[in-house]
Amino acid sequence: MENRENWGSRLGFIMAAAGSAVGLGNIWKFPFTAGQNGGGAFVLVYLFFVAIIGFSVMLTEFAVGRRRSLAAVGAFKSVDRRWTFAGVLGVLSGFLIMGFYPVVGGWALAYVFKVPMGLLNNPDTIGDTFGGFITGKTAPLMWMVVYLALNIAIVAKGVSSGIEKAGKILMPILFSILIIIAIKGLTLPGAMAGMEFLFKPDFSKLNGGVVLAALGQAFFSLSLGMGCMITYGSYLSKEENLAENAAIVTAMDTGVALLAGIAMFPAMFAFGMEPAAGPGLVFVVVPTIFAKMGGAGMMFATLFFVALTTAALTSSVSLLEVVVAYLIDEKKFSRVNAVLSSSAVMAVLCVLASLSLGGTGPKLFGFGSFDIFDLLTDKIFLAIGGMLLCIFTGWVLKKDELKEEITNGGKIAFPLFDIWYGLVKFVIPVTILLVAISGIMDGFKSGSGAIMVMGVIIIGIFAAISKKL
């Protein structure tokens, strides 16, 4: 373990962890999921989950990862082989998320070129152009492949050199452009209705499905529940303050999500678009806003998609890293082999996911591959993965050991230790269980229940064969 690669610097770690957290989840997924789930009430529940569950689970992942100095699977396995499945479940989540994430990453990359090539010339067709593009056969696949190749290049280079550099440069740019878009959107006539939609909770819109969507969004956006932050934590130096790092990353991630919401909804309402419009939201709203600005608009829109692609890359690189670290640590692959073989599988999943948007390919309970990968991970695997980690930490690991890790052997204070411990041991597992049950029951109304139950069964099978994994 002495030669484990380490983060180059303090800022390097925060930027990489925040880089993992901030991605398509914040800028693409959060706004359209909030829109589909009724706005304000969803946002409020999401924020509540981020603060209570998200922060605590992130701290847990950092602590477990650094304590064991092992990536996700090893961290569980080295303590008790019966828990190996909880880590392997994270690797499976990594695979499945990488089965659709590069598809959307490819869209973002494509828009870097589509914008300067005249996308903004005719604002009325921007929506149709997007719909036509993603349901097409070859073009989205081509962009997905380029996007995946960028991932491979970064991860093959190793931890500090590759991941760190990418994160450092483009995050501030992304943040600045979002602010510009938000200001622009807020000054449009009729914009305030968007702010109301986003921040004025209408509690009659809450149900099990909405609450589970908020929980899933919190896990997805913070990169939790699949061992990603365990893996990143395992590369973290013993001097770092884990709680402070977790708080900073959680705050940054949530800040960007809210900012993305503020950038999208006022403009949407001003343009008379439907809040429940779905996955096309950013790809339609942002170009439409900038189309109205003339030449400078084209420059900002292009820069936005450059930054979005980079934010997506710093996230997907961390997803790939979970799978790669597993293959290196547990299966003794070389880094290059681990990267190439896992991304080959991901590429196949991505092809299925991309084609499913045009209605091609296998379906299960009426859902295509893209939706299945998303439903399984976002609604089931991540939250249950987080629940398992909390049970493992609260009931298998020793309290003293955790205290020592989080306080750096007593060198720093963490006054909230007992509250955190109580949350992890009791409150969070019970909450996640209840939210998952009510979300699944609600899912039967919309047809997604069967897929979610399938996810639970997969976890059960993993648990049963844990010692063989």
Residues that bind ligand PHE (CB under 6 A): 20-21, 23-26, 97, 220-221, 223, 226, 228, 315, 318-319
Residue 35: which residues within 8 A CB-CB, separation 6 or more?
A: 265, 268, 274, 275, 276, 277, 278, 281
Least spacing, CB of residue 192 vs ligand PHE, in Å: 28
Identity of the residue, 20 or 431, whose beta carbon is nearer to ligand PHE in the bound complex: 20
Least spacing, CB of residue 41 vs ligand PHE, in Å: 21
Identity of the residue, 163 or 267, whose beta carbon is nearer to ligand PHE in the bound complex: 163
Q: Answer for the pair 320, 155: CB distance below 8 angstroms, yes or no.
A: yes
Identity of the residue, 119 or 382, whose beta carbon is nearer to ligand PHE in the bound complex: 382
CA distance 21 to 256: 10
Least spacing, CB of residue 356 vs ligand PHE, in Å: 20
Measured CA to CA in angstroms, residue 150 lies from 157, 163, 172, 459 at distances of: 11, 12, 21, 31
Identity of the residue, 235 or 269, whose beta carbon is nearer to ligand PHE in the bound complex: 235
Measured CA to CA in angstroms, residue 420 lies from 174, 237, 429 at distances of: 32, 22, 13
CA distance 464 to 469: 10
Q: Give the CB-nearest residue to ligand PHE.
A: 25
Residue 122: which residues within 8 A CB-CB, separation 6 or more?
A: none
Identity of the residue, 61 or 442, whose beta carbon is nearer to ligand PHE in the bound complex: 61
Dihedral angle, C-alpha 439, 440, 443, 448, nearest 10 °: 130
Least spacing, CB of residue 360 vs ligand PHE, in Å: 26
Find residue 364's DSSP bridge partners. Answer: 367
Least spacing, CB of residue 252 vs ligand PHE, in Å: 12
Identity of the residue, 270 or 322, whose beta carbon is nearer to ligand PHE in the bound complex: 322
Least spacing, CB of residue 437 vs ligand PHE, in Å: 23
Dihedral angle, C-alpha 81, 316, 19, 165, nearest 10 °: 110
Least spacing, CB of residue 98 vs ligand PHE, in Å: 9
Identity of the residue, 97 or 281, whose beta carbon is nearer to ligand PHE in the bound complex: 97
